[in-house]
Structure formats: structure tokens, C-alpha cells
Amino acid sequence: MSTRYILIQAIGLVGTILFFFSFQCKSNRGLFRIQFLSYLFYTIHLLLLGAVTGGISYIINVFRSVCLGSRWRFAKGKGMCAAICLAQILAMIFTWSGWISLLPVTANIAATIGGYTHNPQKVRLASMLVNSPLWIVYDVIVGSWAGILDEVVTELSILVSIIRYGWKNLDRTEE
């Protein structure tokens, strides 16, 4: 393994650590603010690996986190959700590298729709059942060991947050 490869994986590992802590935030606002930082590290990580669709998709996730973590009403509305999903589709079209391009985009659209429900329970469900499984497959294909670890840690972090806060306590709408 080269020093460059280890450094690229280390950048992804920082994103993994931050993403783990994001689900330990009780409020969606805190969750999306920590995820913003995580996505910045993952964008760099994936682009350095040559995984362009995943990297560009994460740039859109950075924007999504800014919107969902903000106090701006229009940034948290259904119109912005649709615009972000459309941006994901356009990113896929412009970076198309075969069926593999469907994985991060589909994962991120599910996470976007989950986030825009403004319901912590649904945010976690979208991540556990759609987002993480699709990203794991993508990460295996592109060689992102930090990404695989991130998704496994994400699943564990979600379970910890469910135990910590209680499933019923997460079923609420936050604005």
C-alpha cells in the first residue's frame, strides 16, 4: 500500500468518525451540522479514489446538510427536497460510469427524502434500510475501506441512538 492510498483512506476515516457522532445528536439540526463536516471529508476521499459519481453526490449532500441544518424555511421545504433529488440525478447523468452510478445517487435520494420528512425516526429508517446498504456495495466496488467502515459504523450508531433515545421518542416532526 502506498502512502497516498493510506492518506486517502485516513481522510475517509475522519468522515466516518464525524458521521458516527452525527447520530448521537438528539436534534435533526445537530445531526445535519455534523454530517456536513463528514460529507466534506468523504467528498475529498471519493474524488481522490476516482469515484466521481460518489464524490459529486457527496458535494450535493454537503448542500443538503446546510439546508436541513439551517433556519431558513425555504431550505427545509419540499421544493428544495425536489431540487436536491434532481441535482443528484443530474450528477449521475453527467458522471455516468455504468450501473454503479445508480448506487450512490439512489442512496442519497432516499436519505434526502428521509431528511425532508423532518422526522428523526424516518431519517434513521431511510439510512438503515436504503442509504447504508447501497453505499456499502458502492464502497466495495470503488475500494473505499473507510466508506465501508462508515456505513457499518452508521448502522451501529443508529442502533445506539434508537436505544439511547427510544424508538417512540424519535417519532416526531422537527422544523
Q: How far apart are CA 72 and CA 109, in angstroms?
A: 21
Residue 27, CA distances (Å) to 39, 105, 113 in order:
18, 25, 17
d(CA 64, CA 54) in angstroms, rounded, equals 15
Q: Are 54 and 104 in contact (CB under 8 A)?
A: yes
For the residues of 77-104, what is the DSSP string, one character each? SHHHHHHHHHHHHHHHHHT--SGGGHHH
Amino acid 175: pLDDT: 66
Cα of 168 vs its chain's centroid, Å? 23
The pTM of this model reads: 0.87
Torsion of CA 148, 153, 158, 164, to 10 degrees: 180
What residues does each domain of the chain span? 3-170
CB atoms within 10 A of CB 31: 25
Q: What is the pLDDT along the chain (175 residues), one digit of tens a residue?
A: 799 999 999 999 999 889 878 877 878 778 888 888 988 999 999 999 999 999 999 899 889 988 988 889 999 999 999 999 999 999 999 999 999 999 999 999 999 999 999 998 999 999 999 999 999 999 999 999 999 998 898 898 889 989 988 888 888 787 6
Cα–Cα–Cα angle for 148, 153, 157, nearest 5°? 150
